Structure 1
Amino acid sequence: MPYQWNQTRNGEDEACELRLWPHRSLPRRGFALFIVITCAMLTLPLYPLIGTVTLWGLLPFLLLAVWGVWAALERSYKDAQMNEELTIDREAVHLKRTNARGPVQEWDCESYWAKVEMHPTGGPVPHYVTLKGKGRQVEIGAFLSEDERKVLYGEIADALKRIGSPDPVGVG
C-alpha cells in the first residue's frame, strides 16, 4: 500500500507517524520505454513514404502526438508529487498535506479530541476518511483506493485509541 507507519517510543511516551503518497503504476523507467516504443511504432508507417513530400506532411502531426503523450504523462507525475504526513502522540495530532501545485496545508488538534470518521457515501469518493477536531474536519488519503481507505480508517482509529483519544471513532 502506498503508505507507511513509523512508531517511536521514548520512555512512556509513544508516538506514531503515517506517511501517505499516491500510487505510481508507471515508474520512470517504464515511462521512457513507453515513449521509445511509441516513437518506433509511429515510424513504421513512414518507411514507405521516405523521399516523398507526404512524409513531411505527416511528420509534424506524429511528433505532436508523441509530444502530447509525453506532456500528459509528465503532468501525471507532477500531480503525484503530493504526500500527507500524520503524526499522533499523547499531546497532539498533526496532519500536513504537501500539494503538488499549491500551498502546504496543515491541521492539528489535541489528541484527546481527535476523531477519525469514515463516510461510506456522500463524500467525493466512497468510504471517505476524515479527521475531526478543533472545530474542523479534514480529509486524509482521498487518493488511495477504496480498500486501502477502509484499512487506513481502522489503523488510524487503533493508533488514536492506543495513543491519545478515548473515543477516536465517528460514523459519518
Structure 2
Amino acid sequence: MPYEWTAPVEAPGAPQAELHLWPYRSLPRRGMVTFIGVTAGLLALPMIAVLGSPVLWGLLPFLAAAIAGLWWGIERSYRDGSILEELRLWPDRMSLTRHNPRGPRQDWDANPYWVELRLHAKGGPVEDYLTLRGNGREVELGAFLSPEERKALYDDLDRALRTLRADPA
C-alpha cells in the first residue's frame, strides 16, 4: 500500500497517530536505468545494417532524441509523483499537509470530533473519492490512490477516528 501509519512518538505535544500517503511507483530508479539501457540497445540493433555508411549519421540524431525524450518523460513522471500527504491526529486536532511537486504546500486543520469522513462512490473526480469535511472545508485525501486503496484507507481512517473520539486522553 502506498500509505503507512507511523508509530506514535511518546513526547508532549506529539500526535497520537500519523499517516503518510504517496503515489504508487511501479518503476523504481534501478528499473528505469535498465529500461532505458534495453530500449537504447533495441533501438541501436537495426543500426548495425547501416554501420559504416553516411546513413548512420543521419539516423543517429533521431535515435539520441528518442532516448533523451524517453529519459525526460520518465524523470518528469518521477517529479510529478513526488506528492506527499501527511495526516496527523491529536485528541483535540487533526491536520492534513499536502506537499505538491510544483506548487505551494497546502494545509488543513480541524477538530477530529467534528470531522466527517466520506467515501463518494459516484460523483467525484475519481472513483471512490475520499474526503474529509471539517472547519468549513472539504478536502480530498489520496486522490492518487487506486479505488481499492482508497476503500482500505477509508476503513483504516474511520477506525482511527473512532478510537480517537472514544479515548480523548
Q: Same fold (TM over 0.5)?
A: yes
TM range (shorter): over 0.9
Given that 2:16 and 2:90 are in contact with CA atoms closer than 8 Å, whether structure 1 keeps it comes out as yes
Is 1:98 the equivalent of 2:104? no
Give me the whole-angstrom Cα distance separating, in 2, the residues matched to 1:39 and 1:72.
Answer: 15
What one-letter code is carried by the residue in structure 2 that aligns with 1:3?
Y
Q: Distance in 2 between matches of 1:89 and 1:10?
A: 12
- Kindly indicate whether residue 12 of structure 2 is the aligned counterpart of residue 8 of structure 1: no
Q: 1:85 to 1:48 in 2, by over 3 A?
A: same
Q: Return closer, same or farther for 1:46/1:90 CA change in 2, 3 Å cut-off.
A: same
**Residue ranges of structure 2 left out of the alignment (5+ in a row):** none
Q: Unpaired runs of 5+ in structure 1?
A: 167-172
Cα deviation digits, residues 70-90 of structure 1 (max 9, x gap): 111000100111110001111
TM-score by length of 2: 0.92
Alpha-carbon distance between aligned partners in 1 of 2:95 and 2:44, rounded to the nearest angstrom: 53
Q: Which residue matches 2:32? A: 31
Look up the equivalent residue of 1:8 and give its one-letter code: P
> Whole-Å Cα distance in 2 between the matches of residues 110 and 87 of structure 1?
12
Post-superposition shift, 1:9?
A: 7.0
Question: Any conservation in 2 of the 1:14–1:163 contact (CA below 8 Å)?
Answer: no
The question of whether the paired residues in 1 share the 8 Å contact of 2:15 and 2:90 is answered with yes
Query: 3-state DSSP class of the match of 2:113?
Result: helix
The letter for the 1-side match of 2:86 is: E
CA change 1:103–1:9 in 2 (3 A) is closer
Letter of the structure 2 residue corresponding to residue 21 of structure 1: W
List 4+ stretches of structure 1 deviating above 4 A.
Answer: none
Change (3 A) 1:58 1:160: same
Report deviation, 1:143. 0.4
Distance change in 2, residues 1:159/1:51 (3 Å): same
Structure (1 or 2) with the greater strand fraction = 1
How far residue 110 of structure 1 moved from its aligned partner, in angstroms, is 1.1
Compared CA separation, residues 82 and 14, structure 1 to 2 (3 A): closer
1:145: how far off? 0.7
Deviation, structure 1 residue 164:
2.7
Give 2:142's aligned residue: 141
1:45-56 correspondence to structure 2 within 5 Å = 45-56=46-57
Root mean square deviation of aligned Cα: 1.8
Q: Give matches, 1:76-155, under 5 Å.
A: 76-155=77-156
Go from structure 1 to structure 2 and tell me whether the alpha carbon gap of 1:14 and 1:59 turns closer, same or farther (over 3 Å shift).
closer
Shift of 1:8: 2.3
- Identical counterparts, % of pairs: 47
